Structure 1
């Protein structure tokens, strides 16, 4: 009972930091660093994310930091998901890559113009986090509500195009 009262009296920022810490409590390197410097893991994640976001806002390494959030972190988490027995995390990360790939096709040409809009990169990073963060499961939402229907309706056309492309590539192979 007293933990419920303590939980209710925490300020909202502390509650968010505690929740973030819980989300990363299985990340051994982060937990080890937090223990060494005497700071909760949630604080390290929040400070790191805030610093990266500030760099992105001020145009310092925006492409690089966005790539770390949108590519490197999800790739590592996908590796971890493959190495677990559970299937839920596999579905989460496969869905992320489907949504990410679909959006990236449109983002690549549009970013030539969009990158000049204020807060483009911070919004892009926050959107990537929305897609993969376990509590929001944005990739699953976008996939289930938009992409799944489109892909199912066009699956036969896509498969036929892929088959023709494969045949064309195989027909044009160089031989020794």
Structure 2
């Protein structure tokens, strides 16, 4: 049985670092075939990452769960099985192509909504900051006035006392 940490290291090295280096080499060499291969891999691996996050929460107790994760990453990566290419061509590409317009619309809506949310939070933050600044200024002014009145009162009292003597 493989531990969580060994599985994690293997998935990171072989699922991320190795493909990242070969993606770099594909871009550097301008080999379109390799470039397409690694783009398909990264699209599949992005889906793998989403599914992994969910299954880590619900299936980590399963006896050979970590071994299956490692086997899946090796299958996706292998130039012999071309698992990522198979998954991409048979499932992901057709699904993404049929839903492309809906996904694009959703992304536009999410972008607009997130912009509106950021602006709203910014306005609220500025309102709170302005109120805090005004409140601090009023308190400081009151403290100053009270201190000034006290000093003036003591000075006037001293002048009266010295005038009597």
Q: Which runs of 5+ in 2 are unaligned?
A: 127-165
TM-score (norm 1): 0.61
Aligned residue number for residue 150 of structure 1: 95
Taking a change above 3 Å as real, the CA distance of residues 103 and 58 of structure 1, as seen in their structure-2 partners, is: closer
CA distance in 2: counterparts of 1:61 and 1:126, whole angstroms: 13
Residue 86 of structure 1 pairs with residue 31 of structure 2: yes
Deviations 1:79-136 (A, max 9, x none): 1211112111111111011111112212211112322212222221121111121222
Aligned residue number for residue 58 of structure 1: 2
Residue pair 1:92, 1:137 contacting (<8 A) in 2 also: no
**Greater RCO structure (CA 8 Å; 6+ sep):** 2
Over 2 Å off, 4+ runs: 168-176
Residue 168 of structure 1 pairs with residue 108 of structure 2: no
**Rg larger in 1 or in 2?**
2
Q: Which moved further from structure 2: 79-88 or 89-98? A: 79-88
Number of residue-to-residue matches in the alignment: 120
SS in 2 for 1:61: helix
Aligned residue number for residue 47 of structure 2: 102
